[in-house]
């Protein structure tokens, strides 16, 4: 049980005293969550107990005693009562003279002159202890008063002209709070205590409330220290610049010095959007916290330029000598020293303000990945830990997006075998071989090392067999390996016939297939357990054949018998061997469930079509190879999970601790592995294979690995160190879609934040009335509907060009987009005055590459009729990146296109009338408002060109399902009944639920038509959050919006010829409608669902009231 407990998932099932002791034990011995490390520790303990020790007295009396001290248990108990102190980092400055810096892993050495120049040493922050963080009460009237003061300062002469006016008081006056808990809002007072979760429909004033709270909390009246999370560093810099303009000098951005050049480029790009006379002022204000100068370099002699490629005169930001200077110590050995000028260094100015800043603005990525610099904080700790001591309040907008970011950042993609020398197999085999040579095999004295090395060899064997199968039989396997992550479960599920029934038969067939997929998931889990090393099996895995049907029991027995010999069987490829036994079992034996039952081959789409997707194999031999690959995948994934999970037990003996194959994973685990719940039994989500472009090479095999429950940091931020008696900051979470199903078992696994809603921000009745006039339509661009989602890449791109061509092509009355704006004048006569200033369109694709394709075609065909903007990532805003992107993609931007960085998307609100913005769904759905000078939405029409669906290599649903289960257990959300069950039985139940969650996550990544009912509902919540957030770009200020759905996959029935009624099985939007209807009719969720999603549901009801697509 010790390894399971040390993973941290079961802490809530323990009494408080044991839970506190477990937290401390995880700090002392977190690596013992590895079963191999635990066995190794037990072995060492047994050896110590077997030794004999003697006590020799002065009178020559000798007494035997136990080798282990008799008070060991008392010592352990006392140790677990006190928190483990943080490691103290020594700060020693380089002495005047010379020091060396090693670059590129010692391949280059630079010498620096250390000046005789004295600067005050940096102030290292103390960490104040607090057992209680008192609640903070903020009266609404005081918030309004502070908003008036803000507006007065911004209206006064001298306030920067380039900075837009907030008009905070008038906006805040419209905000209405409907409290669901008296702990957050009562008697006109907001109370911040612990974590508060505030939701509000789009355009309900969340950003307004957030801005007012920042000014209030940081004001002298309250004097609180506030941390604010922003989606990008550019937005954080703009907030800090505004605070400085208001006299709040103690405000700073915290960003990674390694990425400072990118942040500077973005700030300069942003400043280009301001009038020329304000450009310099804006640039200076936004770059004030983004220093890059190295004062030590200023004391060096002028550089000697050279033509050599290795003689760069200016070091990269990641190579600066800050803490990397080497000088000879007292014993004439080199020791690391720090730069004596670091206390006044512009590059480190941000962190130098940690002790005094009243407002700290940073991104979720910086919060998670950065650590406090040792020049300013002696303790080695992450920023979430530091803020437990120095922050009073943490404000997080778009909380559901931040949750998805935390989850994503705690997931790792890793090459198993590739041209990259850091690939796992290459780096580990090389390092282990050198270690064995250096120690001449002494590592094998420890049985644990033998077991680990044996598993490494087993992984290599499985990878070689997988490569052999993929390279030799790739044409038979490409239907599930091309650009997809595959596991044993996904391969076996793809082999199950999907059925082609219609109507009621189709729904019945879908239910039957759903049951079959559940059975296959059980088989895959049992085979994974069989493949795992015998000393590393999960004690809690209670999957048994008793849960299988008779046919599935026979299939499992057959596969279970083949598993041990599958590697040899694949390599031998004997006509009478195992592969052919599998084929025979598919034809007329226990594996008949995987036999092909689709249409005849002659009726399938021709494979030589330029847009034809890979054809599902119909012959039993090809299917046998697929099943063999499924078994090999199980072996590979289980071996890899074993090696990574148990690496801590052997890394010193094999010398792998300094290798960089898992540097990022180790860094995250070092800071968070004993703070957040560990990954569930080292879960690996699957393999991906990318064939090499050159025939002389094989390809790249990579996997995706789960490093921990990232979302724990969101809802538990206020109590990360509670078991150590440290009260953390109060946290306020805000979003329009962070409630997406709530406590329902079918809630969104990605976006639903598992924190009770404290309050709802409601919209004024007048704005809701205006929204009720919004119109959604299925848009037909011609006699044949256009399919985008699910098409082969070339076909998808061609169809997107066709959509853009038809939308932008001019006719006698103008383009189709123009005609729709004229129609809206008739549809919304009372809105005509505002609509005249909102004649802008948003076209939504699924990614940046598709957005460029659509924008280029629009610019080509529309000419001067429309100004075309295309959203680009902030990284492309750097000098030269647009050209490099054009080279990589083979497609450059049309000369008439305006590339718009994501962090400047609000500038589209000031674009000329009839402008079009083409943008990917994910970036455009979050963050900035796109409004007119009058404060209402500048966009009046939105077209979704592509039905959103998880990419085959998107693991967010799998991560979400596992992490959601973990949080449910930690928050005691009824997962385990209070029945006095033993820890062992609770653990078995938990692992069983985890297997199910893993399989349900993968179930959301299959084709929509074959999803289970539960998976479709979960997918619909994920879809709704993205669609509704994007539609929110067009309803700011309470104005109606026109939404057009173009992809046939949105509603195959209605788009059909002739049209027919869609069901939730065929249309994702119909599923969204049914999901919302259930939520709004649920007594528990009714109020929240009604307030957040009622306008969206009403629009869907009207949409499906029409059976025909709209002609535009």
Match domain 773-950+1025-1057 to its CATH number in 3.40.1390.10, 3.30.470.10, 3.40.1130.10, 3.40.50.300: 3.40.50.300
**Measuring CA to CA, how many Å separate 872 from each of 139, 233, 760?**
42, 16, 33
The model's confidence at residue 429, banded by pLDDT at 50, 70 and 90, is confident
> Which pLDDT value is given to residue 991?
75
80 Cβ contact list (under 8 Å, min separation 6)? 20, 21, 24, 25
> Which pLDDT value is given to residue 210?
96
Could you tell me which residue, 215 or 108, shows the higher pLDDT?
215
- Read off φ and ψ for residue 955, nearest 5 degrees: -110, 15
| DSSP-assigned states of every residue in 388-452 | HHH-SEEEESSHHHHHHHHHHHTEEEEEEESSSTTSHHHHHHHHHHHHHHHHTTGGGGSHHHHHH
In angstroms, the CA 666 to CA 659 distance is: 10
| DSSP-assigned states of every residue in 168-211 | HHHHHHT-EEEES-TTTEETTEEEE-SEEEEEE-TTSSHHHHHH
The model's confidence at residue 703, banded by pLDDT at 50, 70 and 90, is confident
**Measuring CA to CA, how many Å separate 498 from each of 55, 501, 625?**
76, 9, 20
> Which pLDDT value is given to residue 608?
42
Q: Residue 953 pLDDT > 70, yes or no?
A: no
Beta-bridge partner residues of 65: 53
The model's confidence at residue 1095, banded by pLDDT at 50, 70 and 90, is very high
Question: Which of 96-110, 186-200, 661-675, 1060-1074 is predicted least confidently?
Answer: 661-675
**Measuring CA to CA, how many Å separate 568 from each of 19, 565, 572, 573, 621?**
47, 6, 6, 9, 18
> Which pLDDT value is given to residue 305?
45
Q: Residue 974 pLDDT > 90, yes or no?
A: no
pLDDT in tens, 648-702: 778 778 877 654 555 666 677 778 888 999 876 455 667 888 777 555 567 888 8
pLDDT in tens, 983-1037: 777 777 777 777 777 777 766 667 777 788 888 999 999 999 999 999 988 988 8
The model's confidence at residue 613, banded by pLDDT at 50, 70 and 90, is very low
The SS3 call for residue 491 is helix
Q: Which of 911, 920, 904 is nearest to 940 (CA)?
A: 911
Could you tell me which residue, 442 or 147, shows the higher pLDDT?
147
In angstroms, the CA 398 to CA 733 distance is: 8
Q: Residue 479 pLDDT > 80, yes or no?
A: no
> Which pLDDT value is given to residue 75?
83
Q: Residue 625 pLDDT > 50, yes or no?
A: yes
User: Do 702 and 685 meet the contact criterion of CB atoms below 8 Å apart?
Assistant: no
At the top level of CATH, which class does the domain 136-259+358-409+714-735 belong to?
alpha beta
**pLDDT (average), residues 337-341:** 94
**Measuring CA to CA, how many Å separate 1081 from each of 200, 230, 778?**
19, 35, 27
User: Do 388 and 728 meet the contact criterion of CB atoms below 8 Å apart?
Assistant: yes
Q: Which helix (H) or strand (E) holds 1054?
A: none
User: Do 1067 and 1008 meet the contact criterion of CB atoms below 8 Å apart?
Assistant: no
pTM: 0.83
In angstroms, the CA 30 to CA 677 distance is: 11
**Measuring CA to CA, how many Å separate 550 from each of 330, 591, 639, 702?**
76, 12, 30, 36
**Measuring CA to CA, how many Å separate 941 from each of 804, 827, 868, 938?**
15, 13, 15, 10
Q: Residue 753 pLDDT > 80, yes or no?
A: yes
End-to-end CA distance of the chain: 65
> Which pLDDT value is given to residue 602?
47
The model's confidence at residue 952, banded by pLDDT at 50, 70 and 90, is low
Name the most confidently modeled range: 647-661, 703-717, 1059-1073: 1059-1073
Query: Among residues of the chain, what percentage have pLDDT more than 70?
Result: 85
> Which pLDDT value is given to residue 782?
86
The model's confidence at residue 725, banded by pLDDT at 50, 70 and 90, is very high
Q: Residue 47 pLDDT > 70, yes or no?
A: no
> Which pLDDT value is given to residue 838?
94
**pLDDT (average), residues 163-177:** 93
Question: Which of 20-34, 122-136, 215-229 is predicted least confidently?
Answer: 20-34
Three-class DSSP labels, 90-120: CCCECCCEEEEEEECCCCEEEEEEECCCCCC
**Burial (CB count within 10 angstroms: exposed 0-12, middle 13-18, buried 19+), residue 833:** exposed
Q: Count Cα atoms within 13 angstroms, Cβ side, for 81.
A: 6
> Which pLDDT value is given to residue 539?
40
> Which pLDDT value is given to residue 612?
39
> Which pLDDT value is given to residue 875?
76
Could you tell me which residue, 596 or 632, shows the higher pLDDT?
632
In angstroms, the CA 796 to CA 798 distance is: 5
The SS3 call for residue 367 is helix
Calculated CA dihedral for residues 497, 501, 502, 504, nearest 10 degrees:
-100
- Strand 941-944 versus strand 868-872 pairing type: unpaired
Q: Residue 473 pLDDT > 80, yes or no?
A: yes
**Measuring CA to CA, how many Å separate 306 from each of 106, 297, 309, 310, 841?**
20, 18, 8, 9, 53
**pLDDT (average), residues 911-939:** 90
Query: Among residues of the chain, what percentage have pLDDT more than 90?
Result: 43
> Which pLDDT value is given to residue 605?
45
- Read off φ and ψ for residue 102, nearest 5 degrees: -90, 130
**pLDDT (average), residues 893-921:** 91
Q: Where exactly are the structural domains of the chain?
A: 2-79, 136-259+358-409+714-735, 411-708+955-1003, 773-950+1025-1057
Question: Which of 102-111, 153-162, 549-558 is predicted least confidently?
Answer: 102-111
**pLDDT (average), residues 827-851:** 93
Percent helix / strand / coil, the chain, rounded to 5: 50, 15, 40
> Which pLDDT value is given to residue 919?
96
856 Cβ contact list (under 8 Å, min separation 6)? 891, 893, 894, 897
User: Do 317 and 335 meet the contact criterion of CB atoms below 8 Å apart?
Assistant: no
CA 510, 515, 521 angle in degrees (round to 5)? Answer: 120
Could you tell me which residue, 154 or 958, shows the higher pLDDT?
154
Q: Residue 307 pLDDT > 50, yes or no?
A: no
The mean predicted confidence, pLDDT, of the chain is 84
In angstroms, the CA 874 to CA 234 distance is: 9
**Burial (CB count within 10 angstroms: exposed 0-12, middle 13-18, buried 19+), residue 606:** exposed
In angstroms, the CA 1033 to CA 1046 distance is: 19
> Which pLDDT value is given to residue 760?
96
User: Do 702 and 415 meet the contact criterion of CB atoms below 8 Å apart?
Assistant: yes
Q: Which of 207, 227, 254 is nearest to 365 (CA)?
A: 254
> Which pLDDT value is given to residue 1040?
94
Angle formed by the axes of helices 956-970 and 1013-1031, to 10°? 100
Q: Residue 798 pLDDT > 90, yes or no?
A: yes
pLDDT in tens, 544-581: 566 788 888 999 999 998 888 888 888 776 666 888 88
The model's confidence at residue 897, banded by pLDDT at 50, 70 and 90, is very high
* Preceding amide of 746 cis, omega within 30: no
Could you tell me which residue, 990 or 286, shows the higher pLDDT?
286
Query: For the CA atoms of the chain, what is the radius of gyration?
Result: 31
In angstroms, the CA 644 to CA 108 distance is: 32
**pLDDT (average), residues 396-412:** 91
Could you tell me which residue, 103 or 1027, shows the higher pLDDT?
1027
> Which pLDDT value is given to residue 610?
33
The model's confidence at residue 529, banded by pLDDT at 50, 70 and 90, is low
Strands laid side by side in the 226-229 sheet:
176-179, 759-762, 195-200, 730-735, 393-396, 226-229, 359-362, 251-253
**pLDDT (average), residues 1053-1074:** 93
The SS3 call for residue 546 is helix
> Which pLDDT value is given to residue 603?
47
Could you tell me which residue, 716 or 67, shows the higher pLDDT?
716
């Amino acid at each position: 049980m010790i390894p399971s407990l040390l993973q941290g998932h079961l802490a809530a099932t323990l009494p408080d005293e044991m839970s506190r002791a477990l937290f401390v034990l995880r700090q002392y011995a977190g690596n013992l969550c590895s079963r191999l490390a635990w066995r190794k520790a037990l072995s060492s303990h047994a050896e110590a107990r077997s030794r004999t020790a003697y006590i020799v007295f002065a009178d020559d009396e000798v007494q035997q005693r136990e080798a282990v001290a008799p008070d060991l248990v008392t010592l352990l108990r006392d140790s677990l009562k006190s928190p483990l102190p943080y490691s103290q980092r020594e700060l020693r400055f380089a002495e005047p003279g010379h020091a060396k810096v090693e670059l590129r892993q010692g391949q280059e050495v630079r010498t620096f002159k250390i000046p005789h120049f004295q600067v005050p040493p940096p102030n290292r922050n103390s960490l104040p202890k607090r057992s209680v963080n008192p609640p903070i009460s903020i009266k609404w009237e005081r918030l309004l008063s502070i908003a008036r003061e803000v507006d007065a300062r911004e209206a006064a002469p001298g306030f920067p002209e380039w900075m837009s006016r907030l008009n905070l008081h008038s906006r805040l006056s419209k905000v209405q709070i409907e409290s669901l808990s008296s702990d957050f809002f009562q008697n006109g007072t907001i109370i911040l205590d612990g974590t508060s979760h505030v939701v509000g429909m789009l355009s309900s004033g969340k950003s307004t409330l957030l801005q007012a709270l920042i000014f209030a909390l940081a004001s002298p009246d309250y004097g609180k220290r506030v941390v604010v999370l922003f989606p990008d560093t550019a937005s954080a810099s703009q907030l800090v610049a505004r605070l400085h303009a208001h006299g709040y000098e103690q405000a700073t951005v915290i960003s990674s010095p390694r990425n400072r050049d990118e942040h500077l480029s973005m700030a300069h790009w942003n400043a280009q959007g301001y009038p020329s006379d304000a450009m310099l002022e804006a640039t200076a204000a936004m770059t004030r916290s983004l220093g890059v100068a190295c004062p030590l370099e200023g004391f060096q002699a002028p550089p000697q330029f050279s033509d050599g490629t290795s003689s760069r005169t200016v070091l990269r930001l990641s190579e600066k000598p800050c803490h990397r200077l080497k000088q000879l110590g007292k014993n004439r050995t080199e020791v690391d020293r720090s730069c004596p000028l670091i206390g006044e260094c512009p590059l480190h100015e941000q962190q130098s303000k940690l002790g005094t800043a009243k407002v700290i603005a940073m991104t979720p990525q910086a919060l998670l990945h950065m650590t406090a610099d040792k020049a300013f904080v002696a303790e080695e700790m992450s920023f979430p830990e530091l803020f437990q001591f120095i922050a009073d309040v943490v404000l997080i907008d778009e909380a559901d997006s931040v949750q998805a970011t935390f989850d994503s950042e705690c997931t790792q993609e890793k090459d198993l075998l590739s041209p990259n020398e850091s690939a796992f197999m290459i780096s580990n085999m090389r390092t282990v071989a050198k270690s064995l040579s250096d120690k001449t095999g002494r590592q094998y004295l420890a049985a644990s090392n033998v077991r680990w090395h044996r598993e490494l060899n087993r992984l290599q064997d499985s990878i070689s067999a997988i490569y052999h199968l993929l390279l030799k039989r790739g044409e038979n396997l490409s239907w599930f390996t091309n650009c997809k992550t595959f596991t044993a479960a996904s391969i076996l599920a793809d082999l199950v016939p999907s059925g082609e029934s219609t109507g009621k038969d189709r729904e019945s067939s879908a239910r039957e297939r759903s049951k079959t997929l559940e059975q296959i998931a059980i088989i895959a889990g049992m085979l994974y357990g069989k493949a795992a090393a015998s000393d590393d099996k999960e004690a809690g895995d209670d999957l048994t054949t008793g849960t299988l049907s008779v046919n599935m029991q026979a299939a499992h027995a057959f596969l279970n018998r083949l598993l041990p010999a599958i590697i040899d069987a694949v390599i031998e490829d004997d006509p009478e061997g195992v592969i052919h036994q599998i084929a025979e079992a598919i034809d007329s034996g226990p594996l008949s469930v995987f036999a092909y039952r689709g249409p005849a081959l002659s009726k399938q789409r021709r494979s030589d079509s330029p847009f034809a997707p890979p054809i599902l194999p119909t012959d039993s031999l090809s299917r046998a190879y697929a099943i063999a690959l499924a078994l090999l995948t199980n072996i590979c994934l289980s071996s890899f999970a074993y090696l990574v999970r148990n690496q801590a037990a052997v890394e010193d003996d094999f010398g792998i601790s300094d290798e960089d194959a898992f540097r990022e994973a180790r860094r995250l685990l070092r800071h968070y592995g004993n703070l957040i719940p560990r990954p569930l039994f080292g879960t690996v989500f699957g393999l991906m294979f990318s064939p090499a472009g050159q025939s002389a090479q094989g390809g790249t095999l990579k996997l995706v690995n789960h490093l921990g429950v990232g979302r724990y940091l969101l809802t538990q931020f206020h109590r990360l160190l509670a078991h150590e008696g440290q009260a953390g900051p109060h946290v306020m979470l805000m979003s329009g879609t962070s409630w997406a199903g709530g406590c329902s078992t079918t809630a969104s696994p990605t976006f639903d934040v598992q924190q009770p809603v404290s309050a709802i921000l409601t919209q004024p009745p007048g704005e809701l009335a205006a929204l009720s006039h919004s119109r959604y339509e299925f848009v037909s661009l011609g006699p044949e509907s256009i399919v985008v989602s699910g098409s082969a890449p070339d076909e998808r791109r061609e169809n997107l060009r066709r959509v853009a061509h038809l939308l932008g092509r001019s006719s006698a009355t103008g383009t189709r987009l123009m005609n729709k704006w004229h129609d809206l004048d008739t549809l919304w006569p009372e809105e005509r005055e505002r609509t005249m200033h909102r004649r802008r369109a948003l076209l939504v694709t699924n990614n940046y590459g598709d957005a460029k394709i659509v924008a280029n075609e629009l610019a080509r065909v529309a000419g001067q009729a429309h100004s075309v903007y295309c959203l680009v990532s902030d990284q492309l805003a750097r000098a030269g990146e647009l050209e490099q992107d054009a080279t990589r993609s083979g497609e450059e931007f049309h000369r008439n296109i305006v590339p718009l960085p994501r962090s400047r998307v609000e500038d589209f609100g000031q674009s000329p009338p009839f402008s079009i913005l083409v943008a990917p769904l994910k970036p455009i759905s979050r963050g900035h408002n796109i409004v007119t000078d009058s404060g209402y939405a500048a966009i009046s029409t939105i077209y979704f060109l592509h039905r959103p669906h998880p990419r085959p290599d998107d693991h967010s649903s799998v991560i979400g399902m596992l992490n959601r289960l973990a949080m449910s257990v930690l928050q005691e959300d009824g997962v385990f009944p209070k029945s006095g069950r033993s820890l062992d039985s609770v653990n078995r139940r938990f692992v069983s639920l985890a297997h199910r969650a893993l399989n349900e996550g993968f179930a959301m990544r299959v084709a929509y038509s074959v999803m289970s009912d539960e998976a479709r509902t979960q997918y619909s919540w994920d879809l709704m959050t993205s669609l509704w957030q994007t539609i929110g770009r067009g309803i700011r200020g309470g104005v109606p919006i026109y939404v057009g759905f173009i992809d046939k996959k949105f509603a195959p029935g209605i788009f059909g010829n002739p049209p027919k009624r869609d069901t939730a099985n065929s249309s994702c939007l119909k599923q969204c409608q049914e999901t919302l209807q259930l939520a709004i009719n649920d007594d528990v969720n009714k109020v929240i669902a009604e307030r957040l999603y009622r306008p969206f549901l009403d629009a869907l009801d009207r949409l499906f009231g029409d059976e025909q697509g709209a002609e535009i």
